[in-house]
């Protein structure tokens, strides 16, 4: 038991993605970076377990193939979780110390919801689609009520064009006037203008500088950073930066390599100086030790690699990978938390002044499934 005088730094949420009873695990983030388990709150829906969408025929450490399957609102009052196994999303009211209360559970209006973006009272859900059943990928808009409940906005929907499209991440621009979607399957980045009523204008489909764009963050009002899995080829992963003008992207630093495999989630420090790429390592069956790549970001959005193989964690015996997937950086910029889907833990690391990572002693969060958990957010 922790001493009552210890200072609390914030709250971290992780999603179990359990195939029968999806749930959100809540941790207290102590001021020294350690995570302490508090409780598990059911979403009322179902995840996919370790089954990878859209086929659901194989298992792996990145079952939802996405960033932000679990998303906290900017004011920290609402948390939204995807229930990919039953095509619903659950919204929670976030109370004192991060305690969750279910506000609503609604249809995602598509197949296999796997990513959520929030800006103010507007939320967009990405549906990965189900080609086997002729269900195409889409993004669908919802209004967030004052009580945290979700209401579908009439006409607020966008298609991703090609039949083989599969969104990995949906993200609002900092001003909320554009919605960006990374299409991991067709290697395009869609940018939709967002209208005043929450509906979308016609998208521009930008060709990605590197194959298989996945996770995204903004380092400035118009500077977008995108990770690239690069066909899951060993050692081929990269991160690109772009200037966003209207709905078009212009590369600043295209496909800066990190020498690792399957770059997915991206997290950026609050001062926008460093960005971190989680290298899942075995997506597609390659196997190996998962790690994190660290990039420096210039004020102009230029990228330079600081360390390619930071924070390595070996897989469990008999497992293909430790599976680093989702990550987040604490609001004070002092700590990075890395979800390891192949270990059932959320790893805790201190961010040094030079951007390098140091493990926090006894800092990991646990109480997650050993395989299949995906979705992380907090502050």
Give residue 4's pLDDT. Answer: 42
> Which residues contact residue 130 at a Cβ distance below 8 angstroms, ignoring those fewer than 6 apart?
54, 111, 112
The per-residue pLDDT for range 223-236, each reduced to its tens digit, is 999 999 999 999 99
Residue 133 backbone phi and psi in degrees, to 5: -115, 25
Supply 76's token pair: 């920290």
> Which residues contact residue 276 at a Cβ distance below 8 angstroms, ignoring those fewer than 6 apart?
266, 267, 268, 292, 293, 294, 295, 310, 327, 329, 336
| Residue 2: band (very low, low, confident or very high) from pLDDT cuts 50, 70, 90 | very low
Write the CATH number for 116.
2.130.10.10
Give residue 5's pLDDT. Answer: 45
pLDDT at 379 over 50: yes
Report the b/e string of 2-32 with b at 16+ CB within 10 A: eeeeeeebbbbbbbbbbbeebbbbbbbbbeb
Residue 97 backbone phi and psi in degrees, to 5: 60, 15
Residue 170 is assigned to a structural domain of this protein: yes
Percentage of residues in the chain having pLDDT higher than 90: 90
- The alpha carbon dihedral of 231, 110, 53, 241 has a sign of positive
The per-residue pLDDT for range 257-314, each reduced to its tens digit, is 999 999 999 999 999 999 999 998 754 444 568 999 999 999 999 999 999 999 999 9
Residue 342 is assigned to a structural domain of this protein: yes
Give residue 142's pLDDT. Answer: 98
Residue 360 is assigned to a structural domain of this protein: yes
Q: Are 220 and 272 in contact (CB under 8 A)?
A: yes
User: Which whole number is the average pLDDT over 238-254?
Assistant: 98
The per-residue pLDDT for range 190-227, each reduced to its tens digit, is 999 999 999 999 999 999 999 999 999 999 999 999 99
Residue 169 is assigned to a structural domain of this protein: yes
Give residue 289's pLDDT. Answer: 85
pLDDT at 33 over 90: yes
The per-residue pLDDT for range 89-107, each reduced to its tens digit, is 999 999 999 999 999 999 9
Residue 229 is assigned to a structural domain of this protein: yes
Give residue 8's pLDDT. Answer: 78
- Tell me the C-alpha distance between 92 and 79, whole Å: 5
Give residue 267's pLDDT. Answer: 98
User: Which whole number is the average pLDDT over 26-35?
Assistant: 97
User: Which whole number is the average pLDDT over 10-14?
Assistant: 98
User: Which whole number is the average pLDDT over 338-353?
Assistant: 97
Residue 1 is assigned to a structural domain of this protein: no
User: Which whole number is the average pLDDT over 135-152?
Assistant: 97
User: Which whole number is the average pLDDT over 36-58?
Assistant: 97
Mean pLDDT, the chain, rounded, equals 95
- Tell me the C-alpha distance between 107 and 190, whole Å: 23
Give residue 281's pLDDT. Answer: 74
R_g (Cα) of the chain, nearest Å:
19
Q: How many domains does the chain have?
A: 1
pTM for the full predicted model? 0.95
Residue 279 is assigned to a structural domain of this protein: yes
∠ CA 137-284-234, rounded to 5° = 120
- Tell me the C-alpha distance between 253 and 233, whole Å: 21
Give residue 375's pLDDT. Answer: 98
3-class SS letters over the chain: CCCCCCCEEEEEEEECCCCCCCEEEEEEEECCCCEEEEEEEECCCCCCCCECCCCCCCECCCCCCCCCCEEECCCCCEEEEEECCCCEEEEEEECHHHCEEEEEEEECCCCCEEEEEEECCEEEEEECCEHHHCECCEEEEEEECCCCCEEEEEEEEEECCCCCCCEEEEEECCCCCEEEEEECCCCEEEEEEECCCCCECCCEEEECCCCCEEEEEEEECCEEEEEECHHHCCCCCEEEEEEEECCEEEEEEEEEECCCCCEEEEEECCCCCEEEEEECCCCCCCCECEEEEEEEECCCCCEEEEEEEEEEECCCCCCCECCEEEEEECCCCCEEEEEECCCCEEEEEEECCCCCEEECCCCCECCCCCCCCCCEEEC
Residue 156 is assigned to a structural domain of this protein: yes
Q: Which structural domain range is residue 364 located in?
A: 8-378
Give residue 3's pLDDT. Answer: 41
| Residue 7: band (very low, low, confident or very high) from pLDDT cuts 50, 70, 90 | confident
Give residue 163's pLDDT. Answer: 81
Give residue 6's pLDDT. Answer: 58
pLDDT at 369 over 80: yes
């Amino acid at each position: 038991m922790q001493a009552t005088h210890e200072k609390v730094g914030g709250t971290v949420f992780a999603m179990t993605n359990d195939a029968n009873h999806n749930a959100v695990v809540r941790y207290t983030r102590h001021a020294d970076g350690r995570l302490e388990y508090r409780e598990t709150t059911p979403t009322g829906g179902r995840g996919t377990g370790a089954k990878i969408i859209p086929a659901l025929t194989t298992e792996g450490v990145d079952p939802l193939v996405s960033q932000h399957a679990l998303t906290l609102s900017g004011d920290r009052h609402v948390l939204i979780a995807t229930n990919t196994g039953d095509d619903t999303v659950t919204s929670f009211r976030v109370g004192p110390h991060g305690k969750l209360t279910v506000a609503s559970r609604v249809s995602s209006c598509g197949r296999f919801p796997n990513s959520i973006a929030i800006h103010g009272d507007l939320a967009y859900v990405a549906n990965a689609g189900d080609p086997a059943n002729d269900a195409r990928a889409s993004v669908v808009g919802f209004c967030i009520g004052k009580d945290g409940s979700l209401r579908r906005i009439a006409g607020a929907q966008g298609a991703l064009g090609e039949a083989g499209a599969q969104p990995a991440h949906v993200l609002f621009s900092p001003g909320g006037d554009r919605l960006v979607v990374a299409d991991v399957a067709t290697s395009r980045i869609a940018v939709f203008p967002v209208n005043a009523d929450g509906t979308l204008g016609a998208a521009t489909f930008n060709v990605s500088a590197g194959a298989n764009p996945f996770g995204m963050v903004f380092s400035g009002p118009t500077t977008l950073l995108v990770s690239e899995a690069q066909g899951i080829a060993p050692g081929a992963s990269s991160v690109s930066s772009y200037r966003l003008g209207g709905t078009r992207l212009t590369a600043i630093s295209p496909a800066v390599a990190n020498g690792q495999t399957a770059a997915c989630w991206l997290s950026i420090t609050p001062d926008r100086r460093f960005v971190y790429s989680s290298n899942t390592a075995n997506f597609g069956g390659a196997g190996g030790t998962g790690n994190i790549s660290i990039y420096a970001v210039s004020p102009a959005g230029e990228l330079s690699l600081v360390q390619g193989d930071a924070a390595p964690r070996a897989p469990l015996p008999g497992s293909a990978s430790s599976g680093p997937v989702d990550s987040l950086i604490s609001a004070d910029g002092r700590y990075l938390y890395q979800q390891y889907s192949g270990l059932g833990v959320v790893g805790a690391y201190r961010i040094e002044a030079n951007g390098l990572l140091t493990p926090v002693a006894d800092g990991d969060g646990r109480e997650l499934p050993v395989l299949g958990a995906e979705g992380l957010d907090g502050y």
